[in-house]
Structure 1
Protein backbone atom coordinates (compact mmCIF):
# COMPACT_ATOMS: atom_id res chain seq x y z
CA UNK A 1 0.00 0.00 0.00
CA UNK A 2 1.36 3.41 -0.98
CA UNK A 3 1.19 6.47 1.24
CA UNK A 4 2.09 10.10 0.52
CA UNK A 5 1.00 13.65 1.12
CA UNK A 6 -1.78 14.86 -1.14
CA UNK A 7 -1.02 16.98 -4.19
CA UNK A 8 -2.28 20.55 -4.48
CA UNK A 9 -4.99 19.34 -6.84
CA UNK A 10 -6.12 16.68 -4.34
CA UNK A 11 -6.18 19.24 -1.53
CA UNK A 12 -8.34 21.53 -3.66
CA UNK A 13 -10.92 18.75 -4.00
CA UNK A 14 -10.30 17.25 -0.58
CA UNK A 15 -13.91 17.06 0.55
CA UNK A 16 -14.85 15.03 -2.50
CA UNK A 17 -12.10 12.56 -1.68
CA UNK A 18 -13.17 12.31 1.97
CA UNK A 19 -16.81 11.51 1.21
CA UNK A 20 -15.61 8.61 -0.94
CA UNK A 21 -13.82 6.99 2.01
CA UNK A 22 -15.25 3.74 3.32
CA UNK A 23 -17.08 5.55 6.13
CA UNK A 24 -18.54 8.10 3.64
CA UNK A 25 -16.69 10.93 5.34
CA UNK A 26 -16.94 13.02 8.47
CA UNK A 27 -17.09 16.79 8.82
CA UNK A 28 -13.99 16.73 11.05
CA UNK A 29 -12.05 15.15 8.20
CA UNK A 30 -13.17 17.90 5.84
CA UNK A 31 -10.99 20.74 4.58
CA UNK A 32 -12.86 23.48 6.44
CA UNK A 33 -12.29 21.93 9.85
CA UNK A 34 -8.67 21.00 9.19
CA UNK A 35 -7.82 24.50 8.02
CA UNK A 36 -9.66 26.09 10.93
CA UNK A 37 -7.20 24.45 13.30
CA UNK A 38 -4.54 26.83 11.99
CA UNK A 39 -6.14 29.36 14.36
CA UNK A 40 -4.76 27.29 17.25
CA UNK A 41 -1.35 26.84 15.59
CA UNK A 42 -2.00 23.33 14.29
CA UNK A 43 -0.76 22.47 10.82
CA UNK A 44 -3.21 20.57 8.59
CA UNK A 45 -1.77 17.51 6.85
CA UNK A 46 -3.54 15.92 3.90
CA UNK A 47 -2.53 12.29 3.42
CA UNK A 48 -3.39 9.70 0.78
CA UNK A 49 -3.02 6.12 2.05
CA UNK A 50 -3.98 3.68 -0.68
CA UNK A 51 -7.48 4.81 -1.65
CA UNK A 52 -8.11 6.52 1.69
CA UNK A 53 -8.01 10.31 2.24
CA UNK A 54 -6.78 10.98 5.79
CA UNK A 55 -6.85 14.43 7.36
CA UNK A 56 -4.54 15.10 10.29
CA UNK A 57 -3.43 18.12 12.27
CA UNK A 58 0.16 18.43 13.44
CA UNK A 59 1.90 20.19 16.30
CA UNK A 60 5.49 20.08 17.53
CA UNK A 61 6.10 19.05 21.14
CA UNK A 62 9.52 20.15 22.47
CA UNK A 63 11.90 17.23 23.23
CA UNK A 64 9.40 14.74 21.78
CA UNK A 65 8.77 15.57 18.14
CA UNK A 66 5.50 15.95 16.29
CA UNK A 67 2.07 14.71 17.29
CA UNK A 68 -0.59 13.94 14.70
CA UNK A 69 -4.27 13.97 15.54
CA UNK A 70 -6.73 12.44 13.07
CA UNK A 71 -10.15 13.73 14.22
CA UNK A 72 -12.93 11.17 13.75
CA UNK A 73 -10.71 9.18 11.47
CA UNK A 74 -9.17 7.53 9.63
CA UNK A 75 -12.32 6.93 7.60
CA UNK A 76 -12.36 3.15 7.65
CA UNK A 77 -15.44 0.91 7.88
CA UNK A 78 -13.92 -2.33 9.18
CA UNK A 79 -11.27 -3.53 11.62
CA UNK A 80 -9.40 -5.26 8.80
CA UNK A 81 -9.18 -1.98 6.87
CA UNK A 82 -7.82 -0.25 9.96
CA UNK A 83 -5.32 -3.06 10.51
CA UNK A 84 -4.03 -2.71 6.97
CA UNK A 85 -3.32 1.02 7.17
CA UNK A 86 -1.95 1.37 10.73
CA UNK A 87 1.58 0.00 10.02
CA UNK A 88 1.81 1.98 6.77
CA UNK A 89 0.66 5.17 8.47
CA UNK A 90 3.02 4.57 11.40
CA UNK A 91 6.08 4.11 9.17
CA UNK A 92 5.21 7.18 7.11
CA UNK A 93 4.69 9.29 10.24
CA UNK A 94 8.05 8.18 11.62
CA UNK A 95 9.71 9.55 8.49
CA UNK A 96 8.07 12.92 9.22
CA UNK A 97 9.38 13.10 12.80
CA UNK A 98 6.07 12.11 14.41
CA UNK A 99 6.18 10.22 17.71
CA UNK A 100 2.48 9.43 18.16
CA UNK A 101 -0.78 9.53 16.19
CA UNK A 102 -4.14 9.95 17.91
CA UNK A 103 -7.02 8.35 15.98
CA UNK A 104 -10.80 8.15 16.45
CA UNK A 105 -12.20 5.78 13.80
CA UNK A 106 -15.96 5.46 13.85
CA UNK A 107 -16.02 1.70 14.31
CA UNK A 108 -18.77 0.37 16.56
CA UNK A 109 -17.95 -0.50 20.12
CA UNK A 110 -17.34 -4.23 20.33
CA UNK A 111 -15.38 -4.31 17.08
CA UNK A 112 -12.37 -6.57 17.64
CA UNK A 113 -9.21 -4.53 17.14
CA UNK A 114 -7.09 -6.49 19.62
CA UNK A 115 -4.64 -7.58 16.93
CA UNK A 116 -3.77 -3.96 16.06
CA UNK A 117 -0.96 -2.24 17.96
CA UNK A 118 -2.88 0.61 19.56
CA UNK A 119 -2.89 2.31 22.96
CA UNK A 120 -6.31 3.30 24.37
CA UNK A 121 -6.56 7.00 25.18
CA UNK A 122 -9.16 9.59 26.12
CA UNK A 123 -11.46 10.68 23.26
CA UNK A 124 -11.16 14.28 22.12
CA UNK A 125 -14.51 14.61 20.37
CA UNK A 126 -17.66 14.38 22.45
CA UNK A 127 -19.57 12.05 20.11
CA UNK A 128 -17.78 8.80 20.97
CA UNK A 129 -21.38 7.91 21.82
CA UNK A 130 -24.18 9.63 19.98
CA UNK A 131 -27.67 9.52 18.52
CA UNK A 132 -28.05 9.21 14.76
CA UNK A 133 -31.32 9.96 12.98
CA UNK A 134 -31.93 8.02 9.77
CA UNK A 135 -32.97 10.42 6.99
CA UNK A 136 -33.46 7.94 4.15
CA UNK A 137 -37.27 8.24 4.30
CA UNK A 138 -39.44 11.24 3.44
CA UNK A 139 -39.99 13.89 6.12
CA UNK A 140 -43.51 12.72 7.00
CA UNK A 141 -42.21 9.21 7.66
CA UNK A 142 -39.21 10.48 9.61
CA UNK A 143 -41.51 12.54 11.84
CA UNK A 144 -43.90 9.63 12.31
CA UNK A 145 -41.03 7.34 13.30
CA UNK A 146 -39.66 9.67 15.98
CA UNK A 147 -40.29 8.62 19.60
CA UNK A 148 -43.58 9.96 20.94
CA UNK A 149 -41.87 12.51 23.20
CA UNK A 150 -40.07 14.10 20.25
CA UNK A 151 -43.16 14.23 18.02
CA UNK A 152 -45.25 15.72 20.80
CA UNK A 153 -42.67 18.42 21.59
CA UNK A 154 -42.38 19.46 17.93
CA UNK A 155 -46.14 19.70 17.46
CA UNK A 156 -46.63 21.47 20.77
CA UNK A 157 -44.05 24.09 19.82
CA UNK A 158 -45.86 24.68 16.52
CA UNK A 159 -49.20 25.07 18.32
CA UNK A 160 -47.71 27.48 20.86
CA UNK A 161 -46.25 29.74 18.17
CA UNK A 162 -42.54 28.95 18.25
CA UNK A 163 -40.95 30.42 15.11
CA UNK A 164 -37.79 28.98 13.56
CA UNK A 165 -35.60 31.02 11.23
CA UNK A 166 -32.60 30.08 9.13
CA UNK A 167 -30.41 33.11 9.62
CA UNK A 168 -27.29 34.36 7.81
CA UNK A 169 -23.91 34.21 9.52
CA UNK A 170 -22.78 37.72 10.39
CA UNK A 171 -21.42 39.64 13.37
CA UNK A 172 -24.86 40.17 14.88
CA UNK A 173 -26.09 36.58 14.59
CA UNK A 174 -22.78 35.12 15.74
CA UNK A 175 -22.79 37.32 18.83
CA UNK A 176 -26.38 36.33 19.58
CA UNK A 177 -25.50 32.66 19.22
CA UNK A 178 -22.43 33.10 21.41
CA UNK A 179 -24.48 34.79 24.13
CA UNK A 180 -26.90 31.85 24.13
CA UNK A 181 -24.00 29.39 24.10
CA UNK A 182 -22.29 31.12 27.02
CA UNK A 183 -25.51 31.10 29.04
CA UNK A 184 -25.89 27.38 28.37
CA UNK A 185 -22.25 26.67 29.22
CA UNK A 186 -22.36 28.68 32.45
CA UNK A 187 -25.47 26.84 33.53
CA UNK A 188 -24.15 23.40 32.63
CA UNK A 189 -20.63 23.97 33.91
CA UNK A 190 -18.64 23.44 30.70
CA UNK A 191 -16.22 25.74 28.91
CA UNK A 192 -16.45 27.13 25.39
CA UNK A 193 -14.02 28.79 23.01
CA UNK A 194 -13.67 32.47 22.23
CA UNK A 195 -16.31 34.43 20.27
CA UNK A 196 -13.78 34.89 17.47
CA UNK A 197 -13.37 31.13 17.09
CA UNK A 198 -17.09 30.52 16.65
CA UNK A 199 -17.43 33.51 14.33
CA UNK A 200 -14.67 32.11 12.10
CA UNK A 201 -16.04 28.57 12.38
CA UNK A 202 -19.57 29.50 11.36
CA UNK A 203 -18.43 31.88 8.63
CA UNK A 204 -16.11 29.41 6.95
CA UNK A 205 -18.71 26.64 6.90
CA UNK A 206 -21.37 29.04 5.63
CA UNK A 207 -19.02 30.30 2.90
CA UNK A 208 -18.38 26.69 1.85
CA UNK A 209 -22.16 26.05 1.70
CA UNK A 210 -21.70 23.38 4.35
CA UNK A 211 -23.17 25.14 7.38
CA UNK A 212 -26.34 26.89 8.52
CA UNK A 213 -27.28 28.89 11.63
CA UNK A 214 -30.80 28.53 13.07
CA UNK A 215 -32.68 30.59 15.67
CA UNK A 216 -35.87 29.79 17.56
CA UNK A 217 -38.13 32.63 18.70
CA UNK A 218 -41.04 32.66 21.12
CA UNK A 219 -43.15 35.79 21.56
CA UNK A 220 -40.52 37.70 19.55
CA UNK A 221 -37.73 36.66 21.92
CA UNK A 222 -34.72 34.58 20.88
CA UNK A 223 -34.88 31.41 22.99
CA UNK A 224 -32.59 28.89 21.25
CA UNK A 225 -29.98 28.56 18.52
CA UNK A 226 -28.22 25.83 16.59
CA UNK A 227 -25.49 25.46 14.01
CA UNK A 228 -25.44 22.45 11.70
CA UNK A 229 -22.92 21.17 9.18
CA UNK A 230 -23.24 18.84 6.21
CA UNK A 231 -20.56 16.97 4.31
CA UNK A 232 -21.64 14.52 1.64
CA UNK A 233 -24.55 12.44 2.94
CA UNK A 234 -23.86 13.11 6.63
CA UNK A 235 -25.06 16.06 8.67
CA UNK A 236 -24.06 17.06 12.18
CA UNK A 237 -25.77 19.09 14.89
CA UNK A 238 -22.56 20.89 15.79
CA UNK A 239 -23.62 23.48 18.37
CA UNK A 240 -26.82 24.11 20.26
CA UNK A 241 -27.84 26.54 22.99
CA UNK A 242 -30.91 27.95 24.68
CA UNK A 243 -31.95 30.37 27.40
CA UNK A 244 -31.78 28.81 30.86
CA UNK A 245 -35.33 29.78 31.81
CA UNK A 246 -37.69 27.55 29.82
CA UNK A 247 -40.10 29.82 28.02
CA UNK A 248 -41.73 27.55 25.44
CA UNK A 249 -42.09 23.79 25.65
CA UNK A 250 -40.53 22.05 22.67
CA UNK A 251 -38.66 25.04 21.25
CA UNK A 252 -35.37 23.13 21.04
CA UNK A 253 -37.14 20.11 19.54
CA UNK A 254 -38.79 22.29 16.90
CA UNK A 255 -35.41 23.91 16.23
CA UNK A 256 -33.80 20.50 15.73
CA UNK A 257 -36.62 19.45 13.43
CA UNK A 258 -35.83 22.47 11.23
CA UNK A 259 -32.17 21.39 11.23
CA UNK A 260 -33.26 17.93 10.08
CA UNK A 261 -35.39 19.44 7.31
CA UNK A 262 -32.44 21.56 6.14
CA UNK A 263 -30.11 18.56 6.27
CA UNK A 264 -32.57 16.46 4.28
CA UNK A 265 -32.89 19.23 1.65
CA UNK A 266 -29.10 19.22 1.28
CA UNK A 267 -28.77 15.48 0.71
CA UNK A 268 -28.14 14.13 4.19
CA UNK A 269 -29.04 10.49 4.79
CA UNK A 270 -27.97 10.37 8.43
CA UNK A 271 -28.01 13.13 11.01
CA UNK A 272 -25.62 12.99 13.96
CA UNK A 273 -26.92 14.72 17.09
CA UNK A 274 -23.32 14.73 18.24
CA UNK A 275 -22.83 13.45 21.74
CA UNK A 276 -24.64 11.57 24.52
CA UNK A 277 -23.64 9.42 27.46
CA UNK A 278 -22.63 5.90 26.45
CA UNK A 279 -25.58 3.54 26.13
CA UNK A 280 -24.75 1.83 29.43
CA UNK A 281 -24.59 5.22 31.19
CA UNK A 282 -27.74 6.74 29.76
CA UNK A 283 -29.84 5.90 32.84
CA UNK A 284 -27.35 7.58 35.20
CA UNK A 285 -28.85 10.95 36.24
CA UNK A 286 -25.45 12.06 37.58
CA UNK A 287 -23.78 11.83 34.19
CA UNK A 288 -22.77 15.34 33.01
CA UNK A 289 -24.55 14.79 29.68
CA UNK A 290 -27.65 13.13 31.09
CA UNK A 291 -29.90 16.04 30.14
CA UNK A 292 -28.47 16.23 26.63
CA UNK A 293 -28.94 12.50 26.27
CA UNK A 294 -32.60 12.70 27.25
CA UNK A 295 -33.19 15.45 24.70
CA UNK A 296 -31.39 13.65 21.89
CA UNK A 297 -32.97 10.25 22.54
CA UNK A 298 -36.35 11.89 21.95
CA UNK A 299 -35.31 11.75 18.27
CA UNK A 300 -34.06 8.16 18.37
CA UNK A 301 -33.91 5.97 21.46
CA UNK A 302 -30.93 4.02 20.13
CA UNK A 303 -27.49 5.25 21.16
CA UNK A 304 -24.57 4.44 18.85
CA UNK A 305 -21.36 3.71 20.73
CA UNK A 306 -18.00 3.86 18.93
CA UNK A 307 -14.74 2.26 20.01
CA UNK A 308 -13.26 5.58 21.14
CA UNK A 309 -9.77 7.01 20.72
CA UNK A 310 -6.35 5.35 20.45
CA UNK A 311 -2.72 6.26 20.01
CA UNK A 312 -0.67 4.67 17.26
CA UNK A 313 2.71 4.45 19.07
CA UNK A 314 5.17 5.57 16.41
CA UNK A 315 7.83 5.88 19.10
CA UNK A 316 6.49 3.50 21.79
CA UNK A 317 8.23 5.02 24.82
CA UNK A 318 7.44 8.62 23.86
CA UNK A 319 3.87 7.69 22.91
CA UNK A 320 3.24 6.05 26.29
CA UNK A 321 4.76 8.97 28.17
CA UNK A 322 2.63 11.36 26.14
CA UNK A 323 -0.56 9.39 26.63
CA UNK A 324 -0.11 8.79 30.36
CA UNK A 325 1.49 12.02 31.58
CA UNK A 326 2.67 14.69 29.18
CA UNK A 327 -0.49 15.25 27.18
CA UNK A 328 -2.53 15.83 30.33
CA UNK A 329 -0.01 18.43 31.53
CA UNK A 330 0.16 20.14 28.14
CA UNK A 331 -3.61 20.34 27.89
CA UNK A 332 -3.92 21.75 31.41
CA UNK A 333 -1.26 24.41 30.83
CA UNK A 334 -2.77 25.33 27.47
CA UNK A 335 -6.20 25.75 29.05
CA UNK A 336 -4.80 27.89 31.86
CA UNK A 337 -3.19 30.18 29.30
CA UNK A 338 -5.83 30.29 26.56
CA UNK A 339 -9.04 29.24 28.39
CA UNK A 340 -10.00 26.80 25.66
CA UNK A 341 -9.36 23.24 24.55
CA UNK A 342 -5.88 22.26 23.35
CA UNK A 343 -7.38 20.28 20.47
Structure 2
Protein backbone atom coordinates (compact mmCIF):
# COMPACT_ATOMS: atom_id res chain seq x y z
CA UNK A 1 0.00 0.00 0.00
CA UNK A 2 1.27 3.48 -0.85
CA UNK A 3 2.10 5.42 2.30
CA UNK A 4 0.49 8.74 3.07
CA UNK A 5 3.77 10.60 2.86
CA UNK A 6 4.97 9.03 -0.40
CA UNK A 7 1.76 9.75 -2.30
CA UNK A 8 1.58 13.34 -1.10
CA UNK A 9 5.29 13.99 -1.55
CA UNK A 10 5.20 12.53 -5.06
CA UNK A 11 2.03 14.25 -6.26
CA UNK A 12 1.57 17.53 -4.39
CA UNK A 13 3.70 19.54 -6.83
CA UNK A 14 2.46 17.49 -9.76
CA UNK A 15 -1.11 18.57 -9.06
CA UNK A 16 0.06 22.18 -9.19
CA UNK A 17 1.52 21.58 -12.64
CA UNK A 18 -1.84 20.22 -13.76
CA UNK A 19 -3.84 23.26 -12.62
CA UNK A 20 -1.14 25.66 -13.82
CA UNK A 21 -1.26 24.24 -17.35
CA UNK A 22 -5.06 24.39 -17.40
CA UNK A 23 -5.04 28.00 -16.18
CA UNK A 24 -2.39 29.05 -18.69
CA UNK A 25 -4.36 27.54 -21.56
CA UNK A 26 -7.65 29.07 -20.40
CA UNK A 27 -6.05 32.48 -19.94
CA UNK A 28 -5.58 32.87 -23.69
CA UNK A 29 -9.38 32.98 -23.98
CA UNK A 30 -10.27 35.11 -20.95
CA UNK A 31 -12.20 38.23 -21.80
CA UNK A 32 -13.07 36.99 -25.30
CA UNK A 33 -16.62 36.05 -24.38
CA UNK A 34 -16.50 32.38 -25.45
CA UNK A 35 -16.91 30.14 -22.40
CA UNK A 36 -16.77 26.98 -24.52
CA UNK A 37 -13.30 27.83 -25.82
CA UNK A 38 -12.14 28.71 -22.31
CA UNK A 39 -13.30 25.30 -21.10
CA UNK A 40 -12.00 23.40 -24.12
CA UNK A 41 -8.51 24.88 -23.86
CA UNK A 42 -8.26 24.20 -20.12
CA UNK A 43 -9.62 20.66 -20.44
CA UNK A 44 -7.19 19.69 -23.18
CA UNK A 45 -4.25 21.10 -21.22
CA UNK A 46 -5.38 19.38 -18.01
CA UNK A 47 -5.81 16.02 -19.74
CA UNK A 48 -2.35 16.29 -21.30
CA UNK A 49 -0.78 17.15 -17.95
CA UNK A 50 -2.56 14.28 -16.18
CA UNK A 51 -1.49 11.79 -18.82
CA UNK A 52 2.14 12.78 -18.23
CA UNK A 53 1.98 11.78 -14.54
CA UNK A 54 3.06 8.47 -12.98
CA UNK A 55 -0.49 7.67 -11.90
CA UNK A 56 -3.26 5.22 -12.63
CA UNK A 57 -6.06 7.72 -12.30
CA UNK A 58 -9.82 7.51 -12.66
CA UNK A 59 -11.94 10.63 -13.00
CA UNK A 60 -14.81 10.30 -10.50
CA UNK A 61 -15.89 13.95 -10.65
CA UNK A 62 -15.68 15.41 -14.14
CA UNK A 63 -17.64 17.40 -16.68
CA UNK A 64 -20.06 14.81 -18.00
CA UNK A 65 -20.33 11.30 -19.32
CA UNK A 66 -18.15 9.56 -21.87
CA UNK A 67 -20.15 10.66 -24.92
CA UNK A 68 -19.54 14.30 -23.99
CA UNK A 69 -15.78 14.18 -24.77
CA UNK A 70 -13.47 16.10 -25.20
CA UNK A 71 -14.44 17.02 -21.64
CA UNK A 72 -12.74 15.07 -18.84
CA UNK A 73 -15.62 12.66 -18.40
CA UNK A 74 -16.64 10.56 -15.41
CA UNK A 75 -14.87 7.22 -15.59
CA UNK A 76 -12.05 8.43 -17.86
CA UNK A 77 -8.67 6.80 -17.19
CA UNK A 78 -5.64 9.09 -17.14
CA UNK A 79 -1.95 8.80 -16.36
CA UNK A 80 1.11 6.90 -17.42
CA UNK A 81 4.65 6.06 -16.39
CA UNK A 82 6.14 3.33 -14.26
CA UNK A 83 5.02 3.87 -10.63
CA UNK A 84 1.35 4.38 -11.34
CA UNK A 85 -0.16 5.60 -8.08
CA UNK A 86 -3.77 4.31 -8.11
CA UNK A 87 -5.90 7.38 -7.41
CA UNK A 88 -9.36 8.88 -7.87
CA UNK A 89 -9.55 12.36 -9.35
CA UNK A 90 -12.07 15.20 -9.12
CA UNK A 91 -11.56 17.97 -11.67
CA UNK A 92 -13.02 21.23 -12.83
CA UNK A 93 -10.70 22.56 -15.55
CA UNK A 94 -12.45 25.94 -15.27
CA UNK A 95 -14.64 26.72 -12.32
CA UNK A 96 -16.44 29.78 -13.57
CA UNK A 97 -16.37 29.45 -17.36
CA UNK A 98 -18.69 32.42 -17.77
CA UNK A 99 -16.73 34.72 -15.45
CA UNK A 100 -13.45 33.69 -17.10
CA UNK A 101 -14.88 34.32 -20.57
CA UNK A 102 -16.01 37.76 -19.42
CA UNK A 103 -12.73 38.50 -17.63
CA UNK A 104 -14.53 38.74 -14.30
CA UNK A 105 -13.01 37.70 -10.93
CA UNK A 106 -12.54 34.25 -9.44
CA UNK A 107 -12.11 31.97 -12.44
CA UNK A 108 -9.89 29.05 -11.38
CA UNK A 109 -8.59 25.66 -12.53
CA UNK A 110 -9.01 23.06 -9.78
CA UNK A 111 -8.24 19.41 -9.02
CA UNK A 112 -8.46 17.08 -6.04
CA UNK A 113 -6.92 13.60 -5.83
CA UNK A 114 -7.24 10.79 -3.32
CA UNK A 115 -6.60 7.11 -2.89
CA UNK A 116 -9.20 4.83 -4.52
CA UNK A 117 -12.56 5.39 -2.86
CA UNK A 118 -11.33 8.58 -1.23
CA UNK A 119 -13.78 10.88 -3.07
CA UNK A 120 -17.55 10.41 -3.30
CA UNK A 121 -18.86 9.74 -6.80
CA UNK A 122 -21.61 12.36 -6.71
CA UNK A 123 -24.22 12.82 -9.44
CA UNK A 124 -24.35 16.09 -11.36
CA UNK A 125 -27.37 17.51 -9.55
CA UNK A 126 -27.93 20.32 -7.07
CA UNK A 127 -26.75 20.18 -3.48
CA UNK A 128 -27.82 22.48 -0.66
CA UNK A 129 -24.58 23.49 1.07
CA UNK A 130 -23.31 25.12 4.21
CA UNK A 131 -19.59 25.95 4.39
CA UNK A 132 -17.90 27.37 7.48
CA UNK A 133 -14.27 28.01 8.57
CA UNK A 134 -12.33 25.83 11.06
CA UNK A 135 -13.47 27.61 14.27
CA UNK A 136 -17.10 26.77 13.47
CA UNK A 137 -16.53 23.20 12.25
CA UNK A 138 -18.75 20.76 14.12
CA UNK A 139 -20.82 23.55 15.63
CA UNK A 140 -23.34 24.32 12.86
CA UNK A 141 -26.13 22.29 11.27
CA UNK A 142 -27.53 22.53 7.76
CA UNK A 143 -30.99 21.76 9.19
CA UNK A 144 -30.92 24.75 11.52
CA UNK A 145 -32.44 28.12 10.64
CA UNK A 146 -30.06 30.59 8.98
CA UNK A 147 -30.11 32.90 12.00
CA UNK A 148 -29.06 30.09 14.36
CA UNK A 149 -26.09 29.12 12.19
CA UNK A 150 -25.00 32.73 11.84
CA UNK A 151 -25.13 33.22 15.61
CA UNK A 152 -22.97 30.14 16.17
CA UNK A 153 -20.57 31.26 13.43
CA UNK A 154 -20.24 34.72 14.97
CA UNK A 155 -19.56 33.23 18.40
CA UNK A 156 -16.97 30.85 16.92
CA UNK A 157 -15.15 33.73 15.22
CA UNK A 158 -15.59 36.04 18.23
CA UNK A 159 -17.31 38.59 16.06
CA UNK A 160 -20.77 40.14 15.77
CA UNK A 161 -23.25 38.74 13.26
CA UNK A 162 -23.21 42.18 11.62
CA UNK A 163 -19.52 41.63 10.78
CA UNK A 164 -20.18 38.41 8.83
CA UNK A 165 -20.16 38.12 5.04
CA UNK A 166 -21.99 35.17 3.49
CA UNK A 167 -21.41 34.21 -0.14
CA UNK A 168 -24.50 33.11 -2.08
CA UNK A 169 -24.86 32.30 -5.78
CA UNK A 170 -26.95 35.01 -7.45
CA UNK A 171 -30.01 32.92 -8.39
CA UNK A 172 -33.77 33.40 -8.02
CA UNK A 173 -33.97 30.22 -5.95
CA UNK A 174 -31.95 31.96 -3.22
CA UNK A 175 -34.26 34.94 -2.70
CA UNK A 176 -35.61 33.62 0.62
CA UNK A 177 -32.12 32.63 1.80
CA UNK A 178 -30.73 36.07 1.00
CA UNK A 179 -33.56 37.75 2.90
CA UNK A 180 -32.93 35.47 5.91
CA UNK A 181 -29.20 36.27 6.01
CA UNK A 182 -29.85 40.00 5.81
CA UNK A 183 -32.65 39.86 8.36
CA UNK A 184 -30.26 38.16 10.78
CA UNK A 185 -27.92 41.15 10.38
CA UNK A 186 -25.18 39.65 8.21
CA UNK A 187 -24.14 40.84 4.76
CA UNK A 188 -24.55 38.93 1.51
CA UNK A 189 -21.98 38.76 -1.25
CA UNK A 190 -23.61 37.58 -4.47
CA UNK A 191 -21.50 35.73 -7.03
CA UNK A 192 -22.31 34.58 -10.56
CA UNK A 193 -20.26 31.38 -10.35
CA UNK A 194 -17.51 29.80 -8.26
CA UNK A 195 -18.64 28.24 -5.01
CA UNK A 196 -15.42 26.19 -4.72
CA UNK A 197 -13.17 29.25 -4.59
CA UNK A 198 -15.72 31.01 -2.38
CA UNK A 199 -15.59 28.06 0.03
CA UNK A 200 -11.80 28.21 0.10
CA UNK A 201 -12.00 31.92 0.87
CA UNK A 202 -14.39 31.18 3.75
CA UNK A 203 -11.92 28.69 5.24
CA UNK A 204 -8.91 31.04 5.05
CA UNK A 205 -8.62 33.98 7.44
CA UNK A 206 -8.30 37.48 6.04
CA UNK A 207 -10.36 37.11 2.86
CA UNK A 208 -13.43 38.91 4.17
CA UNK A 209 -15.65 35.85 3.52
CA UNK A 210 -17.01 33.88 6.48
CA UNK A 211 -19.49 31.33 5.08
CA UNK A 212 -21.08 29.96 1.92
CA UNK A 213 -24.75 29.03 1.80
CA UNK A 214 -27.25 27.81 -0.79
CA UNK A 215 -27.67 25.45 -3.70
CA UNK A 216 -24.78 24.63 -5.99
CA UNK A 217 -23.47 21.67 -7.94
CA UNK A 218 -22.94 18.42 -6.04
CA UNK A 219 -19.65 17.64 -7.87
CA UNK A 220 -18.29 21.00 -6.73
CA UNK A 221 -19.34 20.01 -3.21
CA UNK A 222 -17.03 16.97 -3.36
CA UNK A 223 -14.10 19.08 -4.59
CA UNK A 224 -14.80 21.61 -1.83
CA UNK A 225 -14.88 18.83 0.76
CA UNK A 226 -11.39 17.68 -0.25
CA UNK A 227 -10.00 21.18 0.29
CA UNK A 228 -11.87 21.79 3.54
CA UNK A 229 -10.68 18.48 4.97
CA UNK A 230 -7.13 19.69 4.40
CA UNK A 231 -7.91 23.11 5.89
CA UNK A 232 -9.96 21.95 8.87
CA UNK A 233 -13.11 23.72 7.71
CA UNK A 234 -16.48 22.08 7.17
CA UNK A 235 -19.03 21.54 4.43
CA UNK A 236 -22.44 20.02 5.00
CA UNK A 237 -24.61 19.16 2.02
CA UNK A 238 -27.89 17.55 1.05
CA UNK A 239 -28.66 16.37 -2.47
CA UNK A 240 -31.56 18.22 -4.07
CA UNK A 241 -32.91 16.12 -6.99
CA UNK A 242 -35.48 17.95 -9.11
CA UNK A 243 -36.80 15.13 -11.29
CA UNK A 244 -37.79 11.48 -10.92
CA UNK A 245 -34.81 10.56 -13.08
CA UNK A 246 -32.42 12.38 -10.75
CA UNK A 247 -33.97 10.68 -7.72
CA UNK A 248 -33.60 7.28 -9.35
CA UNK A 249 -29.97 7.97 -10.21
CA UNK A 250 -29.30 9.10 -6.66
CA UNK A 251 -30.80 5.90 -5.23
CA UNK A 252 -28.90 3.82 -7.77
CA UNK A 253 -25.65 5.29 -6.43
CA UNK A 254 -26.62 4.36 -2.87
CA UNK A 255 -27.21 7.96 -1.82
CA UNK A 256 -30.09 9.38 0.23
CA UNK A 257 -31.71 12.72 -0.56
CA UNK A 258 -32.82 13.08 3.07
CA UNK A 259 -29.33 12.68 4.55
CA UNK A 260 -27.02 15.57 5.38
CA UNK A 261 -23.55 14.59 4.18
CA UNK A 262 -20.48 15.91 5.98
CA UNK A 263 -16.95 16.71 4.88
CA UNK A 264 -15.85 13.20 5.86
CA UNK A 265 -18.70 11.65 3.86
CA UNK A 266 -17.92 13.60 0.70
CA UNK A 267 -14.14 13.17 0.95
CA UNK A 268 -13.49 10.10 3.12
CA UNK A 269 -9.90 9.63 1.91
CA UNK A 270 -6.83 10.11 4.08
CA UNK A 271 -4.47 10.62 1.13
CA UNK A 272 -5.87 13.88 -0.21
CA UNK A 273 -4.19 16.55 -2.31
CA UNK A 274 -5.95 19.68 -3.59
CA UNK A 275 -4.70 22.33 -5.98
CA UNK A 276 -6.21 25.44 -7.56
CA UNK A 277 -4.65 28.01 -9.89
CA UNK A 278 -6.15 31.41 -10.61
CA UNK A 279 -7.26 32.17 -14.15
CA UNK A 280 -8.67 35.59 -13.33
CA UNK A 281 -7.98 37.69 -10.22
CA UNK A 282 -9.91 36.97 -7.03
CA UNK A 283 -9.84 37.39 -3.26
CA UNK A 284 -7.64 34.34 -2.72
CA UNK A 285 -5.69 33.87 -5.96
CA UNK A 286 -4.32 36.18 -8.62
CA UNK A 287 -5.08 35.40 -12.23
CA UNK A 288 -2.62 34.54 -14.97
CA UNK A 289 -0.41 37.49 -15.84
CA UNK A 290 1.18 37.30 -19.27
CA UNK A 291 4.32 39.14 -20.34
CA UNK A 292 6.66 38.99 -23.31
CA UNK A 293 8.14 35.50 -23.37
CA UNK A 294 6.04 33.94 -20.62
CA UNK A 295 3.41 34.17 -17.91
CA UNK A 296 3.02 34.18 -14.14
CA UNK A 297 0.58 32.02 -12.17
CA UNK A 298 -0.62 31.97 -8.58
CA UNK A 299 -1.76 28.70 -6.99
CA UNK A 300 -2.74 27.15 -3.68
CA UNK A 301 -1.95 23.50 -2.95
CA UNK A 302 -2.54 21.49 0.20
CA UNK A 303 -2.36 17.95 1.52
CA UNK A 304 -4.36 16.28 4.26
CA UNK A 305 -1.46 14.20 5.59
CA UNK A 306 0.96 17.08 5.97
CA UNK A 307 -1.61 19.72 6.99
CA UNK A 308 0.49 22.21 5.05
CA UNK A 309 -1.05 24.87 2.78
CA UNK A 310 1.29 26.32 0.17
CA UNK A 311 0.70 29.41 -1.96
CA UNK A 312 2.90 29.10 -5.04
CA UNK A 313 3.91 31.94 -7.34
CA UNK A 314 5.33 30.53 -10.60
CA UNK A 315 6.97 32.17 -13.59
CA UNK A 316 6.65 30.20 -16.85
CA UNK A 317 9.22 31.15 -19.49
CA UNK A 318 8.63 30.24 -23.11
CA UNK A 319 11.58 30.58 -25.43
CA UNK A 320 11.94 28.93 -28.84
CA UNK A 321 9.17 26.46 -28.07
CA UNK A 322 10.70 25.34 -24.77
CA UNK A 323 9.05 25.90 -21.39
CA UNK A 324 10.83 26.60 -18.12
CA UNK A 325 8.95 27.06 -14.86
CA UNK A 326 10.41 28.91 -11.88
CA UNK A 327 8.49 28.59 -8.60
CA UNK A 328 8.90 31.16 -5.87
**TM-score normalized by the length of structure 1:** 0.28
| Higher RCO structure, 1 or 2 (CA under 8 Å, sep 6+) | 1
More strand by share: 2
More helix by share: 1
Larger of the two Rg values belongs to structure: 1
